[in-house]
Structure 1
Amino acid sequence: MSAVPLASPRVPGLSALVFTALAGTMAMMAFVAVVGPVVRLLGLAEWHAGLSVTAAGVLWMLSARRWGALSDRIGRRRVLLAGLVGYAVVYIAMAAFVDLALRHPPAVLLSVVVLVATRALVGLFYAAVPPTAAALIADAVPPGGRGAMMARLGSANAIGMVLGPAAAGWIAYRSIALTLYLAAALPLLSLAVLWWRLPEAPAATAPRPGPRPAMAVSDRRLRLPVYAVFAAMVSVTIAQVVVGFFAIDRLGLSPADGARAAGMSLTAVGLGLVCAQALVMRLRTVPPARWIAIGALVSAAGFASSSLVAVQWQLLLAYGVAAFGMGFVFPSFQALAADSVEAHEQGAAAGTVASVQGMGMVVGPLLGTLLYRWSPSAPYLLVGAVLLVLALAAALHPREAAR
């Protein structure tokens, strides 16, 4: 089979979407890489870190479907630009507060409130980007080719996972505040690129009189994509939120060295995702549900083995293997959702999947940090079990079994 070309004329503004995915993920992962050390330096508890990430997931969950449906009505470009404006403004405010707080630590309650509020608003505004970008691709690419194209966005996300934590880990070793300021500049740059390169396009559907029924989360056509995104996001967010603490406590590192180790682990995640999604782009005839089954099985082995690590290279290897499996899962549930609905439902379907992604972001961090207090190995063992169930569900998916 021949490789997919690096650019496709069928998706207007694809290069701008890819860059936005790259920069947005870099900014998100910069925060994840330093949240553990920030929490420790401000005298907060581990669950406060989980709460800040969970707050972002709550607003993501509540807003993603609305962003997706709004893009069906008013157009993809307008929704993408609005989301990025809010994302950039809030991220700058969060970076400025952390900078001031690290120099002059405020009361614990104030630190918790501001971190949770700003992170929640980041989730609210960035929730506009993934479903709208996925719907834009689904508008332009027919069924059967969407998985490879979604994987291109996924590869940009993965590269962001490589560059973001790597840069954040090394810069945080010298200045945690500088890490967040540089990360805050990325949404501004994405906004400029999208404004310049993404053309206007008509709305996906014409306005209709009277109320329009919303797509239900329980829509039978989306059962496997919804379960897959929930299981994947619970697993990923648990692994993200505990890795800094795990590196400090299990490997005996200082907060600064823990930030660097967390950054390197998340860099290994990005490398694993890049390799896996390159395969998805190349092997375009593999059905999405089959990719989900294979990826969940591989990822379960990687995450579960994290519970046994004793030195840093083992942690990097376990995270890399887990991410390799996730690289098969992420573009596949997006493609499966797009292939399962009609043209006028693409934004709503992408928004539904993204809202469940937010639900996973709510459940994962709190569950992970609470389990971590019981045992550092417990979160990783739970993730392994969740992904094994997903692998079985995907293997038994009736649509693929009938092919």
Structure 2
Amino acid sequence: MPTTVLFLMSTMFIANIGFGIILPTLPFLSRHVGASTFELGLALSAFAIAQLLFSSFWGALSDRVGKRPVLILGIVGYGVTSALVGLSPHVWVLLLLRFLSGALCSAVMPSSLSLAAAASKPEMRPRVMAYMGSVNGIGFIVGPPLGAFLSVFGLQVPFAAVGFLSVLNGIVAFWLLPAEAPAAKAGGGARLSPWAFLQVGNHLSAMFNRTIAPFLGGTLAFTTADATITSTLSFFLTDTLHSTQAMAGWAFMVNGGVGAMIQMAMFSMMYQKWGERATIVTGFLFGSLGYLTLGLSTNVGWVFVAITLLAFCRGFAFPAMTSAISLRTTVHSQGSSFGSQMTFNSLGRTIGPLIAGWLFAYHERFPYFFACALLLLAVLMIRVGVKEKLSARAEQA
């Protein structure tokens, strides 16, 4: 594995563990500055909304000025704003800093994925994308308990720790990452319009680009479905199955941990043997079965069976779609393509909780049946829309 890729994995790990470290402490910090329950919800959603708005902007900008400076700006800015969140004197300052933190953090993933793709050979790219994805799951597992431990020493300590790790990572990136020729100098790259931060034109172009549109739609389906468990599983376990909040924490750890292990141990072998379309379809079928099992669960045991099936979906489908986008995109436009994927990712995580909450109000099992149907629709979309073999694309990359 190239040194550059290993470092980029650590960068994404820091960004994700930082989010996890802050998550258990943010409600207590919000209460400390006088935030209401609604304002706490805004503090949580501001981060995701900022990522939705800015992911494509950073992706397009990285194609024009280079991935390295955008990555360094993103990880350092994320660290500084995260540390400042812990020092917020008022609610409005906390909300503003959370928004800025999400906006800057959204620069990390598209630039990291683009640099990792550029540093790896086409035949190695599926494995690299799987490893890059696996660190996300590991970060979400390690982050919350570490944040809970650090908060014992003070509410500001978890935020300061995220700031220190992120800024240190940015300094190392300045010396370690090689400079690349940006598309602006090479005569390529996406255009930045006056409405650049939204990149509406790029999204529309990507949606009508038949080579990557199925994978963007699959990303949206995956994250929208995944948001049903992140937003309602705790209530389903405690209110419907009369379990405990701690059991919900274990369920999330199993989902993230098993998904990360599958990406690292099984994904590459399956991808090389079956190809990208079969890998994605298999992942989505595991996910459909998992959500159906979850919706029919009558005890906690069946919930963990469902969560394990969903981990196979996370381990197979998402890295395969990311790899497919990389292999179908030129070097000077990968930032824009990954930025579009991250925008669809953020869109799913924004609308998913809203849909799940609305369905949960009617019946506590409806969100999981909806997610099951959504992934079955994604299976149909991938089977119809993806016709080309990986080998043909890999030779052109």
Judged with a 3 Å threshold, the aligned counterparts in structure 2 of structure 1 residues 380 and 93 are, in CA distance, closer, same or farther, namely farther
Of 251, 261, 265 in structure 2, the residue corresponding to residue 275 of structure 1 is 261
Identity %: 25
In 1, Cα distance between the equivalents of 2:226 and 2:344? 14
Gaps of 5+ in 2: 193-200, 393-397
Matching residue's letter, 1:14: V
Q: Alpha-carbon deviation of 1:357?
A: 1.4
Question: 1:243 aligned to 2:233?
Answer: yes
Deviation at 1:373, TM superposition (A): 3.4
Distance in 2 separating the partners of 1:211 and 1:192: 28
Aligned counterpart, 1:27: 18
Mark the runs of 5 or more structure 1 residues left unpaired by the alignment: 1-6, 101-109
Give the secondary-structure state (helix, strand or coil) at the position aligned to 2:206.
coil
Cα deviation for residue 16 of structure 1 reads 1.3
Q: CA RMSD in A?
A: 3.5
- Per-residue deviation at 1:151? 0.6
Question: Could you say which residue in structure 2 is the equivalent of 1:161?
Answer: 140
Larger RCO (alpha carbons 8 Å, 6+ apart): 1
What are the residue-to-residue correspondences of 1:80-159 with 2, within 5 Å? Answer: 80-97=71-88, 116-159=95-138
Q: Secondary structure at the match of 1:276?
A: helix
Rounded to whole Å, the distance in 1 between the matches of 2:237 and 2:27 is 10
AA in 1 matched with 2:250: M
* Within-5 A mapping of 1:192-271: 192-204=171-183, 206=185, 208=187, 212=191, 215=202, 216-218=205-207, 219-250=209-240, 252=242, 258=245, 260-271=246-257
Q: CA deviation at 1:75?
A: 1.4
Which one-letter code corresponds to 1:158 in the other structure?
G
Q: List per-residue Cα deviations over 1:106-164 (Å, max 9, x = no partner).
A: xxxx75x5665444333211111111111112223344432111111012112213222
* Kept after mapping to 2: 8 A contact 1:166/1:267: no
- Among 327, 336, 340, the alignment partner of 1:352 is 340
| Partners of 1:210 and 1:232 in 2: CA distance | 28
Distance in 2, matches of 1:211 and 1:401, equals 27
2:224, 2:349 within 8 Å by CA — same for their partners in 1?
yes
| Number of residues of Structure 1 aligned to a counterpart in Structure 2 | 377
TM-score normalised to structure 2 length: 0.81
Distance in 2, Cα, partners of 1:38 & 1:264: 24
Q: Distance in 2 between matches of 1:164 and 1:31?
A: 8
Give how far 1:14 is off: 1.4
2:315 match: 327
* Inter-partner Cα distance in structure 1 for 2:100 and 2:217: 25
Partners of 2:50 and 2:99 within 8 A in 1: yes
Q: TM-score, normalised by structure 1?
A: 0.80
The answer as to 2:42 corresponding to 1:17 is no
After superposition, where does 1:336-351 map in structure 2 within 5 Å? Answer: 336-351=324-339
